[in-house]
Amino acid sequence: MIGWLGQGMPHLIAAPILLPLFAAALMVAMGERRRAGRALVNVLASLLGLAVAVALLVWVDGEGVPGVYLAGNWPVPFGIALVVDRLSALMLVLAGVLGAAAVLYSTARWDRAGVHFHPLFQLQLMGLNGAFLTADLFNLFVFFEVMLAASYGLLLHGSGTARVRAGLHYIAINLLASSVFLIGVSMLYGVTGTLNMADMAQKLAAVPASDRGLLNAAVAILSVAFLAKAAMWPLGFWLAPAYAAASAPAAALFAIMTKVGIYAVLRVWTLFFAGGDDASAAFGSGMLVVGGLATLAFGALGVMASQRLGRLAGFSIVVSSGTLLAATGLGLPALTGGALYYLASTTLAVGAFYLLIELVERARAVNVDAPEPDDDTDHLPFALELVELPQDVNLDDDEHALVGKVFPAAIVFLGIAFIGCALLIAGLPPLSGFVAKFGMLSALLNPGGLGDLGATPVPVAGWVLVALLIGSGLVATISLARAGIRYFWAPQDRPAPRLRVVECLPIAALLFACAALTVRAEPVLRYAQDTALALHRPSVYIDAVMSARPVTQPSWRPEASAKEGGT
């Protein structure tokens, strides 16, 4: 398998960017009428993209060193390089899984709600994959913009006042963040004279003390852009309304968009500041930890206060962002490893939850016109006027009528999927959310490794993170149980909702992927630990990029070409 894959390398590294690009171009060329053809192209391209991502992951894990692709065969610091290492491959696979699930789901209903859903979807995947693969800071900006431009379209897909209103805020915030991004990148270029991240990391040690302040300011400004993307408090208020307004498949794909911010922080911060112990070593780690903890607390409060499931899912994304940022900032390789496993688990779980929410709310809206609480205005959770009691169901008199009734299959599926998502998001056993939290807690409470008992004290921030991790799990359990009671347990006189197989299949597949993460926790955690170790030893990545050489040209014979030119 590895040998076979080796044939296609390093050219396969460009495939996750080129494939969606060509698929999108093909779909635009096909025109608006051929809806089924476009859907088919989109599904096939997404599945193929997932296969490529998995192949890259297998190759990188077997090889152990990052693979480098020099676009246009330019030598390293000058041309744009694409690099796949363990972290990139992991993110590619996550994006691929979510993309394939969301596009399958969209073929049931949502792709009819607007014209260019399918091309936009592929372009969004292209932006995501490009951001994960590029080794160049300005190129990262370009792929961020590709991803964002497509996400504006996807967020507005289906139109409606709520989407346009949320989209307006979302676009304004992201345009501002892009300006900040550009300021940071250009300052870093001014200080180091390069845009290649590996080259920049090498040159940081040589930055004179007089430029240190400028360098730190540049990195801080750049990280504001990343952290706004990752929805760190107080930069993340845009997230919950925007994601709650998005259509289900778009929201499921957006579940990985905050992770792009986390990825960028992990990549840039570990490259620049994890390796050496010069003047800027571990610069900003305190900010990451404090910001992450505040985000985690804010997200947990938001989860508690949410009425609608869409907002609840949005705030659980905020919770996972906070957890990841704080875990990254603490800078322990074992903790980062646990956090990467958590990243995989939580991304898939929230993606599945967004898809599920639409089905659950449709099931509820079949004929009960429930009052829809709008969370833009403040409601008390479980406010009395929201507990609607149908008039024609009298539990005391007719209780025997419920006995021996068979549950409709659709309700059973929705119920089981909801429980699965709730377990994953709250981090309860037996699913992968629990394994992830356990991995992080274990790394937090044994900072020196399992061998040295109590020799290395746990930092205060570590204790706060432990408390917040457990507390946020409790809060998520309460909120999801409350929502479950309202949606599944409350007496409602209604027929069973009709679900289609293409809608249930992606949810089942995502939950199955989480179950697989649980069953195969050991190899996945091992992979995550290897990734974390490589991140905290950035010299491997830097050497791989800097030692990449362009392919030598076939010898050019002037007399031969002159002869051809003459004839």
Partner 1 sequence: MELVMSAAIGVLGGCGVWLVLRPRTFQVVMGLSLMSYAVNLFIFSMGSLSIDAEPIIVPGVPPDLAHYTDPMPQALVLTAIVIGFAMTALFLVVLLASRGLTGTDHVDGAEDPDDAPPGAAVAIDTTPAADREHA
Binding positions for partner 1, rule: CB under 8 A: 138, 142, 145, 148-149, 152, 156, 159-161, 164-165, 167-169, 171-172, 175-176, 178-179, 182-183, 185-187, 189-190, 195
Please state the closest distance from residue 134 (CB atom) to partner 1, in A: 14
In the complex with partner 1, the residue whose CB is nearer, 179 or 547, is 179
Please state the closest distance from residue 197 (CB atom) to partner 1, in A: 15
CB burial class (10 A; 0-12, 13-18, 19+) of residue 448? middle
In the complex with partner 1, the residue whose CB is nearer, 187 or 265, is 187
Please state the closest distance from residue 180 (CB atom) to partner 1, in A: 8
Q: What is the DSSP letter of 486?
A: I
Phi, psi of 134 (to 5 degrees): -70, 150
In the complex with partner 1, the residue whose CB is nearer, 189 or 438, is 189
Of 183, 254, 260, 201, residue with least CA distance to 227: 260
In the complex with partner 1, the residue whose CB is nearer, 186 or 539, is 186
In the complex with partner 1, the residue whose CB is nearer, 176 or 395, is 176
Please state the closest distance from residue 194 (CB atom) to partner 1, in A: 9
Please state the closest distance from residue 200 (CB atom) to partner 1, in A: 13
CA–CA distances in Å: residue 297 to residues 212, 217, 459, 471: 33, 27, 18, 9
In the complex with partner 1, the residue whose CB is nearer, 183 or 386, is 183
Find tokens 């997230």 and name the residue.
239
Q: With H, G, I as helix, E, B as strand and everything else as coil, classify residue 332.
A: coil
Please state the closest distance from residue 179 (CB atom) to partner 1, in A: 5
In the complex with partner 1, the residue whose CB is nearer, 126 or 524, is 126
Query: How far, in Å, CA of 546 to CA of 79, rounded?
Result: 12
Find tokens 């991004």 and name the residue.
181
Query: How far, in Å, CA of 302 to CA of 320, rounded?
Result: 13
What b-and-e string marks burial along 456-469, b requiring 16 or more CB atoms within 10 Å of the CB? Answer: eeeeebbebbbebb
Please state the closest distance from residue 470 (CB atom) to partner 1, in A: 37
Which two structure tokens, joined as six digits, stand for 424? 């994953």
Query: How far, in Å, CA of 111 to CA of 104, rounded?
Result: 10
In the complex with partner 1, the residue whose CB is nearer, 211 or 543, is 211
Query: How far, in Å, CA of 108 to CA of 101, rounded?
Result: 12
Please state the closest distance from residue 171 (CB atom) to partner 1, in A: 5
Q: What is the DSSP letter of 59?
A: H
In the complex with partner 1, the residue whose CB is nearer, 195 or 424, is 195
Query: How far, in Å, CA of 188 to CA of 203, rounded?
Result: 11
In the complex with partner 1, the residue whose CB is nearer, 178 or 280, is 178
Query: How far, in Å, CA of 196 to CA of 192, rounded?
Result: 10
Please state the closest distance from residue 254 (CB atom) to partner 1, in A: 17
Do 351 and 258 meet the contact criterion of CB atoms below 8 Å apart?
Answer: no
460: enclosing H helix or E strand:
helix 460-484
CA–CA distances in Å: residue 178 to residues 131, 226, 433: 14, 9, 33
Please state the closest distance from residue 174 (CB atom) to partner 1, in A: 8
Query: How far, in Å, CA of 109 to CA of 254, rounded?
Result: 18
Query: How far, in Å, CA of 473 to CA of 342, rounded?
Result: 13
In the complex with partner 1, the residue whose CB is nearer, 186 or 477, is 186
Find tokens 């992990």 and name the residue.
266
Please state the closest distance from residue 172 (CB atom) to partner 1, in A: 6
